[in-house]
Structure 1
Amino acid sequence: MPSSLEQLKRLSTVVADTGDLDAIRRFVPQDATTNPSLILKGVQSGQYDALLDEIVAAVREHNGTREEAVDEACDRLVVAMGGLILNHVPGRVSTEVNARLSFDKDASIAKARRLVALYEEAGINRERILIKLASTWEGIRAAEVLEREGIECNLTLVFSFAQARACAEAGAFLISPFVGRILDWFRKANPGTDYAPDEEPGVLQVREIYRYFRRHGYATVVMGASFRNSGEIRALAGCDRLTISPALLEELAGAGNRMERVLSDSGERAERPAPISEAEFRWQLNEDAMATEKLAEGIRGFEADQRKLEALLRERLVGSAA
Structure 2
Amino acid sequence: MQIFIDSAKLEEIKEAYNAGILDGVTTNPSLIKKAVEEIKKRGDGIDMEDYIKEILKTAHNARVSLEVTEYIYDKMVEQGRKLFKMFNPAAKNVYIKIPANPSFEGEKGKEFDGLRAIKTLSQEGIPVNCTLVFTPEQALLAAKAGAKIVSPFAGRIDDYLRTKNNIAFDKSDYYPADGKNDLNDNGIVSGIDLVRQIAEIFKKHSIEAEVLAASIRNTRQAREAALAGADIATLPFEVIKELLAHYKTREGMRSFTDDAIPEYVNLTKGRN
Shorter-chain TM-score: which interval?
0.7 to 0.9
Stretches of structure 2 lacking an aligned partner (at least 5 in a row): 102-111, 169-173, 180-188, 249-272
CA deviations 1:237-261 (Å, max 9, x no partner) are 152000000111110122489xxxx
The alpha-carbon distance between structure 1 residues 138 and 49, as it changes in their structure 2 partners (threshold 3 A), is: farther
CA deviations 1:96-145 (Å, max 9, x no partner) are 101xx22x11111011111112125xx325x4100011111211210111
In structure 1, the residue matched to 2:176 is: 196
Separation in 2 of the partners of 1:49 and 1:111? Answer: 30
Give the paired residue count: 216
Equivalences for 1:268-283 in 2 at 5 Å? none
In structure 1, the residue matched to 2:99 is: 134
In structure 2, the residue matched to 1:85 is: 55
Separation in 2 of the partners of 1:217 and 1:208? Answer: 14
Equivalences for 1:123-202 in 2 at 5 Å? 123-124=89-90, 127-136=92-101, 137-192=112-167, 195-199=175-179, 201-202=190-191
Larger radius of gyration: 2
Does the CA contact (< 8 Å) of 1:15 and 1:32 recur in 2?
yes
Matched, 1:43 2:14: no
Separation in 2 of the partners of 1:169 and 1:51? Answer: 43
Separation in 2 of the partners of 1:222 and 1:153? Answer: 12
Q: CA deviation at 1:191?
A: 3.3
The match for 1:114 among 82, 97, 105 is 82
What secondary structure, in the 3-state scheme, does the structure 1 residue paired with 2:98 have?
Answer: strand
The alpha-carbon distance between structure 1 residues 42 and 192, as it changes in their structure 2 partners (threshold 3 A), is: closer
Stretches of structure 1 lacking an aligned partner (at least 5 in a row): 1-11, 56-76, 258-322
In structure 2, the residue matched to 1:3 is: none
Equivalences for 1:1-322 in 2 at 5 Å? 12-28=1-17, 29-46=22-39, 52=46, 55=47, 77=48, 79-89=49-59, 90-98=61-69, 101-102=70-71, 104-120=72-88, 123-124=89-90, 127-136=92-101, 137-192=112-167, 195-199=175-179, 201-237=190-226, 238-255=229-246
What secondary structure, in the 3-state scheme, does the structure 2 residue paired with 1:145 have?
Answer: helix
| Identical counterparts, % of pairs | 33
Does the CA contact (< 8 Å) of 1:174 and 1:222 recur in 2?
yes
Separation in 2 of the partners of 1:49 and 1:160? Answer: 42
Higher RCO (CA < 8 A, seq sep 6+): 1
Structure 1 range deviating more: 110-119 or 35-44: 110-119
Separation in 2 of the partners of 1:34 and 1:195? Answer: 24
**Given the two structures, how large is their TM-score scaled by the length of structure 1?**
0.62
Q: CA deviation at 1:232?
A: 1.1
Separation in 1 of the partners of 2:96 and 2:52? Answer: 11
The alpha-carbon distance between structure 1 residues 86 and 140, as it changes in their structure 2 partners (threshold 3 A), is: same
The alpha-carbon distance between structure 1 residues 50 and 195, as it changes in their structure 2 partners (threshold 3 A), is: closer
Does the CA contact (< 8 Å) of 1:140 and 1:167 recur in 2?
yes
Does the CA contact (< 8 Å) of 1:82 and 1:95 recur in 2?
no
In structure 2, the residue matched to 1:302 is: none
Does the CA contact (< 8 Å) of 1:132 and 1:154 recur in 2?
yes
CA deviations 1:46-75 (Å, max 9, x no partner) are 1797662xx4xxxxxxxxxxxxxxxxxxxx
Separation in 1 of the partners of 2:213 and 2:13? Answer: 18
The alpha-carbon distance between structure 1 residues 254 and 118, as it changes in their structure 2 partners (threshold 3 A), is: same
Does the CA contact (< 8 Å) of 1:178 and 1:202 recur in 2?
yes
Separation in 1 of the partners of 2:10 and 2:178? Answer: 32
What secondary structure, in the 3-state scheme, does the structure 1 residue paired with 2:230 have?
Answer: coil
Q: Which amino acid aligns with 1:111?
A: Q
Separation in 1 of the partners of 2:79 and 2:95? Answer: 13
Separation in 2 of the partners of 1:198 and 1:23? Answer: 32
Does the CA contact (< 8 Å) of 2:177 and 2:193 recur in 1?
no
CA deviations 1:247-278 (Å, max 9, x no partner) are 11110122489xxxxxxxxxxxxxxxxxxxxx
